[in-house]
Amino acid sequence: MADAKNTIADTEKIYDLLILGAGPAGLTAAIYGCRANLSVLVFEQMQAGGEIASTDRLDNYPGFPEGVGGAEFGQLLEQQARRFGAEIRSAGIKEVSPAGDLQKVLTTQGLFYGRTVIVATGTIPGVLGVPGEEKLRGKGISFCATCDGFFFRGKKVAVIGGGDAALQEALFLTRFAEEIVLIHRRDEFRAVPYLQEQVFKQPRIKILWDTVVKGFNGEQQLEAIAVENVKDAQTAVLPVDGAFLYIGRMPNTTFIKGVETDGQGYIITSAEMETSLPGIFAAGDVRRKFLRQVITAAADGAIAATMAVRYLS
Ligand code: NAP
C-alpha cells in the first residue's frame, strides 16, 4: 500500500467522517453528521438500506402503521442522507488503519482519508459448513428470499433456522413456493410469538422440528437435503428445489484489525459507540449489543455521529 503522505496528496479531500455501510445505522449517522456540518462520505457494497433493503417488509419501525417495504425504506433513508449533503459511494471496504491523526480506509474504489470513521458494516449470513453447501451456493442455495424467492414459483423449498429471519422469510416464500419445509434444530422457535402464530396458521409451511441438515445434494443444481433427527438419529433425504439459510449472522469486521471485539467478533463499544481505537466508532448490528433491530441501529448511528462531532471539536 502507498505511503500515507503521498496518497493524501493524491486524494481530492479529507473527509471529517467516513461511514462504512449504508444501512440504517450508517445512513442515520450520515444524517446527523451532515446536519452538524461535517463532510461525510458513506461506502456501501450492496444497496442503500443494507440488509433491510433485501427484507420484504419492515413492520416494527415506529411511524409506519401499515409497515414499509424494506427496499423502499432503504431508499427513503438514502434520500434523506443525500438531502443533507452526504456523499454515498458504491465500494467494498478492504482495510481500515490509522495514518497519523487520520484514519485511512482502503476500498475497492481506492484509498480515502477521514478524521473519524464509523463502522456500520452490519453482519453477513452464517453458514452451516456441511457438504455441498459451498458448491451449490447460488445454485439452489440462497441467503435472500426477497431476491430469489421468485425463481421458486410452484416449487418446493426448505428454510433452515428458527429465528425471526427464518420465519419472516418462510412466510414471504408462501407467495411463490408450493411447499415450504421449515427445518429447525430444536422443538421450539426463537422467533417472536407474532411470527410464530403466522407460521403455524400457514398450511403451505411444514415444520421439521429437532432436525439438522447434514448435507446438500446435487451436481449442477440443488436436488435434495440430507437431514437427521437429533432425538432419534433417523436420517432422511428431502427432495427440494431450493434452500434458504437463516441460521443467524456473523459480524462483518474482517477489514479492521486491533479493535476490541467479543468472542463472536462483534465490536465492543461504550454506550457512546466509542471503540477501543480513538476516532473510530461502531454502530448497528456490527457491535456487541442486546437488541439488533432497525430502530436500535438508527439510534446507534445518531449517537456515533454526535460523538464524532464531539471528537473533532
Ligand atoms: P437468530 O435470531 O440468531 O436465529 C438463528 C436461528 O438459526 C436460531 O433459531 C438458531 O437455532 C438457528 N441456528 C443457528 N446456528 C445453527 C446451525 N448451525 N444449525 C441449525 N440452526 C442453527 O438470527 P436471525 O433470525 O437472523 O435474526 C438476527 C437478528 O435480526 C435478531 O436479533 C432478530 O431479532 C433480528 N431480526 C428481526 C426481524 C424482525 O423483527 N421482524 C427479522 C429478521 C431478523 P436456536 O434457536 O436453536 O439457537
Q: Higher confidence at residue 2 or residue 162?
A: 162
Pairwise CA distance, residues 33 & 310, whole Å = 11
Instruction: Give the pLDDT band of residue 1 (cuts 50, 70, 90).
Output: very low
> How is residue 34 written as a grid cell?
451532515
Q: What is the mean pLDDT of residues 116-127?
A: 96
**34: annotated active-site residue:** no
Take atom 34 of ligand 1 and give the residue whose Cα is closest: 164
| Exposure class string for 176-185: b at 16+ Cβ within 10 A, else e | bbebbbbbbe
Q: pLDDT value at position 209?
A: 98
Pairwise CA distance, residues 160 & 183, whole Å = 5
pLDDT tens-digit map of 45-63: 989 999 899 888 899 999 9
Is the pLDDT at 241 greater than 60? The verdict is yes
Asked if 59 contacts 88 with a C-beta cutoff of 8 angstroms, the reply is no
Q: Which residue has the cell 408462501?
A: 174
**148: annotated active-site residue:** yes
Pairwise CA distance, residues 295 & 249, whole Å = 18
Task: Answer yes or no: is the C-beta of 310 below 6 A from any ligand 1 atom.
Answer: no
The three-state secondary structure class of 106 is: strand
Take atom 28 of ligand 1 and give the residue whose Cα is closest: 248
Q: What is the mean pLDDT of residues 107-135?
A: 96
Q: Which atom of ligand 1 is nearest to the CA of 184?
A: 21
Q: How many whole angstroms from 163 Cα to the centroid of ligand 1?
A: 4
Is the pLDDT at 147 greater than 80? The verdict is yes
Query: What's phi and psi for 149, nearest 5 deg?
Result: -55, -35
Q: How many whole angstroms from 13 Cα to the centroid of ligand 1?
A: 41
Task: Answer yes or no: is the C-beta of 125 below 6 A from any ligand 1 atom.
Answer: no
Asked if 309 contacts 116 with a C-beta cutoff of 8 angstroms, the reply is no
Query: What's phi and psi for 196, nearest 5 deg?
Result: -60, -45
Q: Please pick, among 16, 148, 164, 300, the residue that the annotation labels catalytic.
A: 148
Residue 307: DSSP 8-state: H
Is the pLDDT at 7 greater than 60? The verdict is no
pLDDT tens-digit map of 247-289: 999 999 999 999 999 999 999 999 999 999 999 999 999 999 9
Q: Which atom of ligand 1 is nearest to the CA of 162?
A: 9
Q: Write down the number of H helices and E strands in the chain.
A: 7, 19
Reported as type and span, the H/E element at residue 19 is strand 15-20
Pairing of strands 156-160, 179-183: parallel
pLDDT tens-digit map of 161-197: 999 999 999 999 999 999 999 999 999 999 999 999 9
Q: Which amino acid is at 164?
A: D
Task: Answer yes or no: is the C-beta of 292 below 6 A from any ligand 1 atom.
Answer: yes
Q: Residue 3, CB half-sphere, CA atoms under 13 Å: how many?
A: 3
Task: Answer yes or no: is the C-beta of 68 below 6 A from any ligand 1 atom.
Answer: no
Q: Which atom of ligand 1 is nearest to the CA of 248?
A: 23
Is the pLDDT at 201 greater than 60? The verdict is yes
Q: pLDDT value at position 8?
A: 52
| Rg of the chain taking only CA atoms, in angstroms | 21
Pairing of strands 211-217, 141-142: unpaired
Q: Higher confidence at residue 10 or residue 226?
A: 226
Residues in the chain: 313
Domains in the chain, CATH or no CATH each = 2-125+249-312 (3.50.50.60), 141-245 (3.50.50.60)
Q: How many whole angstroms from 124 Cα to the centroid of ligand 1?
A: 12
Work out the number of other CB atoms within 10 angstroms of the CB of residue 78. Answer: 21
Give the chain's largest Cα–Cα span. 66
Q: Higher confidence at residue 9 or residue 242?
A: 242
DSSP string, 219-288: SSS--EEEEEETTT--EEEEE-SEEEE-S-EEE--TTB-S--B-TTSPBP--TT-B-SSTTEEE-GGGB-
Instruction: Give the pLDDT band of residue 210 (cuts 50, 70, 90).
Output: very high
Instruction: Give the pLDDT band of residue 4 (cuts 50, 70, 90).
Output: very low
Q: Which atom of ligand 1 is nearest to the CA of 60?
A: 40
